[in-house]
Amino acid sequence: MRTPTAVLGAGSFGTCLAMLGAREHDVKLWARSEGTVEAINRDRRNPRYLSEFELPERIEATTDLREALAGRELVILAVPSHSLRAVMQEAGPYIEPGAIVVSAVKGIEYETGLTMHGVLEDVLDREHHPRIVALSGPSFAREIARQRPTVVTLACREEAFAIAVQATLSCPWFRCYTQTDVIGVETAGALKNVIAIAVGMSDGAEAGLNARAALMTRGLAEITRIGVAQGAEPETFLGLAGMGDLLLTCTGDLSRNRRVGLGLGRGRPLPEIVAELGEVAEGIQTTRAAVRLAARLGVEAPIAAQVRAVLEGEKTPQEAGQALMSRQLKSERDATFQRDARRDD
* Per-residue confidence (pLDDT) for residue 342, from 0 to 100: 42
In whole angstroms, give the CA distance from residue 104 to residue 94: 19
Percent over 90 (pLDDT), the chain: 92
Residue 185 near residue 162 (C-beta atoms within 8 A): no
Checking if the pLDDT of 46 tops 70, the result is yes
Q: What average pLDDT does the segment 217-234 reach?
A: 97
Q: Across the beta sheet with 74-77, what order do the strands follow?
A: 59-62, 27-30, 5-8, 74-77, 100-103, 132-136, 150-155, 174-179
Which CATH superfamily includes the segment(s) 188-325? Answer: N-(1-d-carboxylethyl)-l-norvaline Dehydrogenase; domain 2 (1.10.1040.10)
Active site residues: 192
The reported pTM is 0.94
Average pLDDT score over residue span 310-334: 93
> What is the per-residue pLDDT across 277-288, written as a single tens digit (0 to 9) for each?
987 789 999 999
Structural domain spans, the chain = 5-180, 188-325
- Residue 308 and residue 331: Cα distance in Å, rounded? 25
Provide the pLDDT for residue 1: 60
332 pLDDT tier (thresholds 50, 70, 90): confident
- Binned at pLDDT 50, 70 and 90, residue 345 comes out as very low
- Give the pLDDT of residue 281: 86
The matching CATH number, chosen from 3.90.1150.10, 3.40.50.720, 3.30.450.20, 3.30.460.10, for 5-180 is 3.40.50.720
Report which of 69, 70, 155, 87 is spatially closest to residue 123, judged by C-alpha positions: 87
Distances from the Cα of 96 to the Cαs of 118, 129, 219, 277, in angstroms? 20, 13, 40, 36
The answer, yes or no, to whether residue 105 has pLDDT greater than 50, is yes
257 with 197: CB under 8 angstroms?
yes
Rounded Cα–Cα distance for residues 294 and 283 (Å): 15
DSSP string, 155-170: E-SSHHHHHHHHHHH-
